[in-house]
Structure 1
């Protein structure tokens, strides 16, 4: 059973990582950017000339080791699902540099016996040389096998605020992006080597017909779609991207990103795969300057 006190105060290590322009390009290629090598917008993320990093790279680098696998946490790791991701940019994400990440458990919420639990992690991405914070990432994991822990510990945190739903009207803008058939094999070179995304046998044991794309790759695709469709390709304008993961994506599928204009640079986001009639990202929020 999940140990509230140990998980809430787990000593998560700081992680320092250096990345290069090559790494930024590799990350973009794993998102399907560069599928049209004649597209000037895509070349801004995949060619050294005037190179920009897709800002959600901040959510993919300098990750601590997978401490939730430790038996002392009491977490049933096999039933953990990545539920939501939220990144706030305080400075433009550099195409190369060195950062230090500092991660903390900010919230553990018991939904009840048989209903699972929620763990919220906050991670600061800090420029190692200057000490300035580049970004903050917020990750919510659903622990499907850990509901009811508060009956033993006697303590639970309030649930996190929900992301806003999309308006019930036609979207104001749409953008399509196709994930290459080898996307997961490319994306895993950016740091997430979970065999679920590469090994057909392991994917089958998990109930999938073939290896699935990383959730953070789908999330990065949403950021690129927003930059391309709403910000004229200027990655510096992206200040926040948040979304809930609602269904897996298979490499090779085409995603249709839909956007609804809000107030003060806010846009609502939803992503769907028309070929399977499934929504893969929902309750999305984009903020632009």
Structure 2
């Protein structure tokens, strides 16, 4: 069934004020697999909150996060139809490891793919520091709403996907995920049952709960920081990608990276492309 456009566009997405702690910053990094090599001092800087802690840039995705608001019946959307399509972040300042932040999320576009087809929902979040109001980061999400088209809206998608080079990648980095990783990641504020409840996952057409797309984003961000940023998180200025297919918790992600910041990722065990059209920029 088509989405209820009036409900969706008028839905009051909550503004979220978050008191970020050093433990939460460390937990986020752990939830996307940083620390998988516990003897690597470079990784410990992101997960040992008693040290000179650093924030992984992809943490911008969970700061001031409004939660799975599309799961509310008042959103006008069938929650089982929701699939994360694309994600981008832009860093305007170094992310804090503690302190108060505010996340403001708004709908910035809705595309009708046609009757019986899907719809594309674009949402943007701005994250500000409470103490001085400075803009820390912006995120842009594209959500595919399966079967939600046919409401008579604009049918022109926003933006254009980055095309990765047709040459062999310059770097290839394998990073593991854990069987219980989705259960950890959802504690960052994304409690969509698709990532925890086998019955909900089966009803959505999956064999088991799948890893959050934003968790996959964090794993790939780690690979980029490791490869092109030399573990300096302040060097990353932006990162954008398209989710091609889901990752199952416990699978290994191979990030294939070019020197110009282009990247993609695949699951090693199935040789399945899961992230495409990626581009990261560094200072």
TM-score by length of 2: 0.93
1:45 lines up with 2:46 in the alignment:
yes
**Correspondence for 1:195 among 190, 193, 196:** 193
* Structure 1, unaligned runs of 5 or more: none
Alignment size in residue pairs: 281
Shift of 1:96: 1.5
Whole-Å Cα distance in 2 between the matches of residues 9 and 194 of structure 1?
A: 21
Is the 8 Å Cα contact of residues 9 and 105 (structure 1) preserved in structure 2? no
**Correspondence for 2:253 among 252, 255, 278:** 255
1:106 — aligned with what? 108
Whole-Å Cα distance in 2 between the matches of residues 64 and 197 of structure 1?
A: 17
The 5 Å alignment of 1:159-198 reads 159-198=157-196
Whole-Å Cα distance in 1 between the matches of residues 70 and 272 of structure 2?
A: 30
Whole-Å Cα distance in 2 between the matches of residues 21 and 228 of structure 1?
A: 22
Is the 8 Å Cα contact of residues 239 and 287 (structure 1) preserved in structure 2? yes
Task: String of CA shifts for 1:105-124, please: whole Å, max 9, x gaps.
Answer: 11111111122111100110
1:36 lines up with 2:30 in the alignment:
no
Alignment RMSD: 1.8
SS in 1 for 2:37: coil
2:282 — aligned with what? 288
Shift of 1:197: 2.0
Is the 8 Å Cα contact of residues 107 and 157 (structure 1) preserved in structure 2? no
Task: String of CA shifts for 1:58-87, please: whole Å, max 9, x gaps.
Answer: 111222254434445432332121111111
SS in 2 for 1:208: coil
1:146 — aligned with what? 148
Shift of 1:239: 0.8
Shift of 1:282: 0.6
SS in 2 for 1:50: coil
SS in 2 for 1:148: coil
**Correspondence for 2:243 among 242, 245, 249:** 245
Task: String of CA shifts for 1:133-186, please: whole Å, max 9, x gaps.
Answer: 100010100111111101xxxx42742112212111100122111112221222
TM-score by length of 1: 0.91
2:134 — aligned with what? 132
Whole-Å Cα distance in 1 between the matches of residues 10 and 198 of structure 2?
A: 37
1:12 lines up with 2:6 in the alignment:
no
**Correspondence for 1:54 among 53, 56, 79:** 56
SS in 1 for 2:258: strand
Is the 8 Å Cα contact of residues 8 and 107 (structure 1) preserved in structure 2? no
1:225 lines up with 2:223 in the alignment:
yes
* Structure 2, unaligned runs of 5 or more: none
1:26 lines up with 2:27 in the alignment:
yes
Is the 8 Å Cα contact of residues 242 and 286 (structure 1) preserved in structure 2? yes
1:81 — aligned with what? 83
1:275 — aligned with what? 269
1:94 — aligned with what? 96
